[in-house]
Amino acid sequence: MLISPWLPARAALQLQLDTTALTPAQSHASQRLLDDAMSRLPQRFKAELDRQIPVRWSDALPDAVSGRAERSALLLNRRWLPALDGADVVPAAGGREPREELLATVLHELAHFHDRQHRLSADPRLLDLAGWQVKVKRLGARQSRNPFSDRSPDVHELTSPREFVAVNFEYFLLDPDYACRRPALYRHFNAVFDWSPAHPDCAGDLVHVSAGNDADGAGTAGALGRIDPRRVYAVEYLLAEGNDEPMSRWGHSMLRLVVCAPGREPGPGCRLDLQHHLVLSFRAFVNDVQLSSWRGLSGSYPSRLFVLPLSQVVEEYTRDQLRGLQSIPLALEREEIQTLLERAGQLHWSYDGRYYFVSNNCAVETFKLLHDGVPRLAQARLGAITPTGLLKRLHRRRVADIGVLDDAHEARRLGYRFDSLQERFQAMFAVVRQELPLPQTGVEDWLSLPAEQRRGWFGDAGMRATAALLLLEEAALRRQILLAQQELKRRYLVADSARAAAGGDLGQADASLRQILQDSGFLSRPAELLAAREGYGLPQPTELASLATETAQRQLRLADLNDRLAAQVRDLLDPPTRTNLDEAQANINALSERLRALHRESGGLELP
């Protein structure tokens, strides 16, 4: 056996090429490959891996395996040997040329040798960044499944922390874009090995797919948004207060980004720029409808990170669900806000979690985002399984300042609190009861009455009571619309599967609804927009043009489907739901006409 050593100055690692059964040309090409690999390795890596490692070409490896780190030797698949001369062999991963794939293989397998000795794959911070997340109630325990499966450079990295280290080490050394695609991991490898591979300047903005409603209220969404971390003045814990619904009893956890208007210097004044504020919210669906308690317990729903406008979230909770919102400042440094946003970007583009009502709900997901995105908080033991419990722990660790709620008036003025419209509706109901002898004392009891029964009181109402009744009927209609939306989604997710199992055909309206829900899947899984393109991690400038085009096309398709469905939607609803909607709209029409008539009788100008 002939051994050709590679022994650079001050390097402990030595790669010894076995030249047996190699031609002189093959030996020379193989040595150049090893030289190339050694030149790319960090000096600290070579010093820490203090050993001689034999390297030989083997016929014993499976065809699809280009290399393997055995206990004492590095094996390369002899089938790949022609690639050293530029010949095509089996297709390489990630779009690499065959020789580049061999170079990556050598670096990958050397990472395995290093990891066996130094256990980087057991480093808690690396596990946080990699996606083996902590379990909320078991100190030191981690999830067995890595859910960061979208936008992966090599799905083999998801099989174990050891493979994750090896795959990412090769990309850290070989891909100039790694620093921009996986910035937190780049910094971690840089700190571990004291090595900074060259890379282009990274775009500062974080690109996301907005799940907010469009301006015309048609319900379509999907515009690309950008978050400039320099404009994020603060991050706040946004708590939607609980109600009597089983899935909402303990509230809902979110994070609010206080984003400054363009041109405004970051500071307290940015709190007034409400139209620019964003919300990071873990949900099973865009509108957070949970259809089945059992499915929520069994993990049948996806858990994804949505980016929503604050104005939409405030309206959704305070008007539609009659739940107040508390927005509690978090004590984060500028650098911590940056790393938190990077983590949110990784979740947005790569995370495919499962929703569990107890063990992986919105509070647990928010805790993990804070834990993984802000290293300081990983030591704070913040884990809680309820939104209110998480807030209490944030307060006890002096991360959240709940003192901003002490002065209720000031809290509303500064946007630390958004009140439910329940009190407003109750006040309107009190106005009605001043004129009409209604037996109900609470607005909820009134709204729960059949619409036709409520209409029986309209004829005795004066102008002030009629105006109040009109506002309440609009709330009732909105409630009926939300119930109808839930019914449609239930029809698609439950009834449709049963009908398909029975071999039934879909009607035109059913087909439109199914297509809408399928086509809007990219709102919860943005990686779908780039599935046909190479790339991993955070989208880069070279991907943004196609991303914008695909998003625009999806929007147009959704808008067309919405228009078609609007004329057919009544056919999808159960008769009682159709009746309730019609009766609520009839009440609004009747009250509007009565208000105009009363106004004319009082001598006022004609109302529109």
Q: Which domains does the chain have, with CATH numbers?
A: 3-193 (3.40.390), 206-418 (no CATH), 422-601 (no CATH)
Side-chain-facing half-sphere of 453: CA atoms under 13 Å: 9
What stretch of H or E contains 415?
none
Sign of the torsion angle spanned by Cα atoms 345, 346, 349, 355 = negative
404 contact partners, CB below 8 Å, separation of at least 6: 328, 329, 411, 414, 416
For position 147, what pLDDT does the model report? 92
The H or E element spanning position 434 is helix 422-435
Q: For residues 35 and 54, give the distance between their C-alpha atoms in angstroms, rounded to a whole number.
A: 14
Spatial separation of the C-alpha atoms in residues 339 and 184, rounded to whole Å: 7
Residue pair 152/527 in contact (Cβ under 8 Å)? The answer is no
**How far apart, in whole angstroms, are the C-alpha atoms of residue 270 and residue 483?**
36
Distance between CA atoms of 526 and 344, rounded to whole angstroms? 13
| Residue 96 DSSP symbol | -
CA 147 to CA 304: how far, in whole Å? 11
Separation in Å, CA 101 to CA 282, 296, 415: 38, 43, 54
Contact criterion met (CB below 8 Å) for 123 and 142: no
Determine the Cα–Cα distance for residues 77 and 63; give it in Å rounded to an integer: 8
CA 524 – CA 13 distance, rounded (Å): 47
Low-confidence ranges of the chain (pLDDT < 50): 1-9, 215-220, 286-299, 495-496, 501-504, 506, 607
CB atoms closer than 10 angstroms to residue 500:
11
Q: Where are the beta strands (DSSP E) in 319-366?
A: 325-329, 353-355
User: Closest by alpha carbon to 45, among 189, 167, 186, 180?
Assistant: 189
pLDDT at 291: 42
Q: How far apart are CA 533 and CA 252, in angstroms?
A: 35
Strand, coil or helix: what is 462?
Answer: coil
Task: Give the integer Cα–Cα distance in Å for 111 and 184.
Answer: 19
Structure-token pair, residue 294: 């059992």
Where on the phi/psi map is residue 29: left (φ > 0), alpha (ψ -120 to 50), or beta?
A: alpha
* Cβ count near 558 (within 10 Å): 22
Give SS3 for 196.
Answer: coil
Rounded Cα gap, residues 568 and 136, in angstroms: 46
- Rounded distance between C-alpha atoms, residue 530 and residue 599, angstroms: 57
Q: What is the pLDDT of residue 157?
A: 96
Count CB neighbours of 223 within 10 A: 16
